C-alpha cells in the first residue's frame, strides 16, 4: 500500500524532495495545469494543479461498489428530473426561505408551463464518497453528495493516474504502479456531449460552454472542448452577459447566440447566486431553458441535485418511488447513504435541531449550494441553528451525519507551499454520463473517477477553492 511507501521514504528527506521534483515536472510535461489565480488575464502564467505525491490506498471492493452504482444514480437523477410533483413536494419548504433555489424553481415552473420542447436530456454528474471504518474493522462507503451541475476536474483526473504511476516506478514500486486503474473521464464526458449534439440533428449547430469570464480552471474545460473539436464539432464559449446581449430564439424556439445555432448548452457556470450578476443573467438562463437546445443540465436536473432532494431520498420508501419492484437496485443505492435529517418545521425538524445543538461535532449543516466551502461544522452549527432554530429559515438547510473517513498521510504538492508530511482525508467521486431521448435511455455510463485529498485541518473545500488536491486511488 502507499502507506508503506511513505513510511519507507519518510526518513529520507533527500529522496522525497527528488520525487517531488520529478512529480512536478511530470505534471508540467503532461499538461496537468491550472492558470495562476493572480494572473488570470495572462495567457502565459500557468502552474501544475495541486496534487498528492503518492496515491492513496482505497479498498478495491469500495471502489468497484461506487463504480457499479453510478449508472443507478444516473437513472435516479433522470427520473427525479421528470417527476414534477416530487420536486414540488420535496422543495416546497426550501423555496419558501431560499431565494436562489426559489428563482431556479420559478424557471422550472415556467418551462413546464410553456411545455418541454426538447426530448433529448443530457446528464453529466459526479457522485462523491468517503469511506469510514467502524470499531469492528468493517469499512463502508458513504455518499457525500451528487453534483448534477458542472461536475468538474475530469480532465485533470485523466492525467493524475499517469503521474502517480510514473512516480511509483521512479520510486521502485512497479507492482504498486499497476494497481492504479486507467482513467479518462474527459473523453467520456466529451463523447456524451458529442452524442447529444449528433442527436440534435444539425451539423451547423454548435456546442456552447456557458462559463465565467475568468476561470483558473479553464484548462480543465479546454481538454473536453478539444475532444469535441477533434470530431469537427464547433465549440463556442460564452457567459451569461454574452447570451443576454446576443442570444435570441427563433419562431421554432431554436437558440441562436452571435447568429450561431446552439445544439447543446453545457453549463460550467450558474450554480451559485453570485454567478447571476444582474436580472439579464436570469433572463438569459430562462431563455436557454425555454429553447430547443439540449441543456446540460436542464433546470429540473439542476434541482434534482439540491441537498434537500438528497435528504428526502433517504426517507423510508422514497427510493421505491423511482425504482418500483427493483429491491436490489434500491438496496445498492441506499447502502451508500449517510444519515440525513430534515429541518422542516414540525416535530421531526425540532428533533433534528435538538440533536445538532447537543452534539454538533457529529454532523454537517448543508445549505443549498455547490462549489466547496459552503458547509458548516462544529460550533458554527450551533451559531447558525441558534439563530434560526424556531424560524422557517432553518428549512434552507439539511443536516447530515459527519462521515468519519479513514485518515492517511501524504505530501501535498502546491505551488509556493513547503513540502511536508500531512495528515489527510480523501474522497472519491465517479463521473456519470447519460442521454435520454423521450422514454429511451440512449446512453448510461460511468466514465471515470476523481479522487481528492485535503489536510485533516480543513473541514470543507474543494480543489478550485484551494483546499483539496488531486489524488489517485491505489487499490488493495
pLDDT tens, position by position, 271-286: 999 999 999 999 999 9
| Closest CA relative to residue 280, chosen from 243, 244, 238 | 244
Q: What digits encode the pLDDT tens for the residues 50-104? A: 999 999 999 999 999 999 999 999 999 999 999 999 999 999 999 999 999 999 9
**What is the C-alpha separation between 74 and 126, in angstroms, rounded?**
9
Residue 7: pLDDT over 90: no
Domain ranges of the chain: 2-338+403-475
Q: What digits encode the pLDDT tens for the residues 327-350? A: 999 999 999 999 999 999 999 999
Task: Provide the grid cell at 92.
Answer: 416546497
Residue 170: pLDDT over 90: yes
- Cβ neighbours of residue 461 under 8 Å, at least 6 residues apart? 372, 373, 454, 467, 468
**What is the C-alpha separation between 153 and 271, in angstroms, rounded?**
16
Neighbouring C-beta atoms of residue 413, cutoff 10 Å: 20
Place of cell 502517480: 164
Is 245 in a helix, a strand, or coil?
helix
378 contacts 363 by C-beta, under 8 angstroms? no
Amino acid at each position: 500500500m502507499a502507506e508503506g511507501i511513505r513510511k519507507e521514504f519518510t526518513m529520507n528527506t533527500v529522496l522525497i524532495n527528488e520525487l517531488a521534483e520529478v512529480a512536478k515536472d511530470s505534471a508540467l510535461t503532461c499538461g496537468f495545469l491550472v492558470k495562476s489565480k493572480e494572473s488570470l488575464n495572462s495567457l502565459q502564467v500557468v502552474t501544475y494543479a495541486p496534487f498528492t505525491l503518492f496515491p492513496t490506498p482505497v479498498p478495491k471492493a469500495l471502489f468497484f461498489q461506487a463504480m457499479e452504482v453510478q449508472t443507478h444514480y444516473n437513472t435516479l437523477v433522470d427520473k427525479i428530473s421528470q417527476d414534477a410533483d416530487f420536486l414540488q413536494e420535496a422543495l416546497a419548504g426550501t423555496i419558501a426561505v431560499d431565494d436562489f433555489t426559489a428563482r431556479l424553481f420559478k424557471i422550472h415552473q415556467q418551462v413546464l408551463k410553456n411545455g418541454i420542447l426538447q426530448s433529448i436530456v443530457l446528464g453529466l454528474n459526479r457522485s462523491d464518497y468517503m469511506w469510514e471504518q467502524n470499531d469492528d474493522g468493517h469499512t463502508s462507503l458513504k455518499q457525500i453528495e451528487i453534483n448534477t451541475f458542472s461536475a468538474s476536474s475530469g480532465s485533470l483526473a485523466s492525467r493524475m493516474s499517469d503521474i502517480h504511476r510514473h512516480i511509483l516506478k521512479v520510486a521502485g514500486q512497479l507492482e504498486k504502479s499497476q494497481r492504479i486503474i486507467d482513467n479518462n473521464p474527459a473523453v467520456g464526458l466529451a463523447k456524451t456531449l458529442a452524442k447529444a449534439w449528433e442527436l440534435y440533428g444539425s451539423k451547423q449547430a454548435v456546442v456552447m460552454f456557458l462559463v465565467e469570464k475568468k476561470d483558473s480552471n479553464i484548462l480543465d474545460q479546454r481538454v473536453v472542448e478539444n475532444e469535441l473539436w477533434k470530431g469537427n464539432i464547433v465549440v463556442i464559449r460564452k457567459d451569461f452577459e454574452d447570451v443576454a446581449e446576443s442570444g435570441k430564439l427563433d419562431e421554432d424556439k431554436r437558440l441562436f447566440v452571435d447568429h450561431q445555432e446552439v445544439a447543446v448548452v453545457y453549463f460550467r457556470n450558474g450554480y451559485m447566486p453570485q454567478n447571476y450578476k444582474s436580472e439579464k443573467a436570469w433572463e438569459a438562463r430562462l431563455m436557454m431553458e425555454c429553447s430547443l437546445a439540449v441543456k446540460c443540465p436542464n433546470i429540473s436536473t439542476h434541482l434534482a441535485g439540491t441537498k434537500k432532494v438528497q435528504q428526502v431520498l433517504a426517507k423510508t420508501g422514497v427510493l421505491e418511488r423511482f425504482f418500483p419492484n427493483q429491491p436490489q437496485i434500491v438496496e445498492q443505492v441506499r447502502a451508500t447513504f449517510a444519515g440525513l435529517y430534515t429541518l422542516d418545521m414540525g416535530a421531526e425538524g425540532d428533533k433534528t435541531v435538538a440533536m445538532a445543538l447537543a452534539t454538533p461535532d457529529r454532523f454537517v449543516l448543508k445549505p443549498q449550494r455547490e462549489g466547496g466551502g459552503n458547509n458548516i461544522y462544529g460550533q458554527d452549527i450551533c451559531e447558525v441553528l441558534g439563530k434560526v432554530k424556531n424560524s422557517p429559515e432553518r428549512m434552507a438547510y439539511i443536516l447530515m451525519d459527519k462521515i468519519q473517513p479513514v485518515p492517511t498521510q501524504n505530501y501535498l504538492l502546491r505551488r509556493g507551499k513547503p513540502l511536508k508530511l500531512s495528515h489527510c482525508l480523501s474522497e472519491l467521486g465517479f463521473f456519470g454520463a447519460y442521454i435520454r431521448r423521450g422514454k429511451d435511455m440512449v446512453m448510461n455510463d460511468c466514465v471515470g473517477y476523481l479522487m481528492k485529498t485535503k489536510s485533516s485541518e480543513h473541514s470543507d473545500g474543494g480543489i478550485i477553492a484551494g483546499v483539496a488536491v488531486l489524488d489517485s486511488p491505489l487499490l488493495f
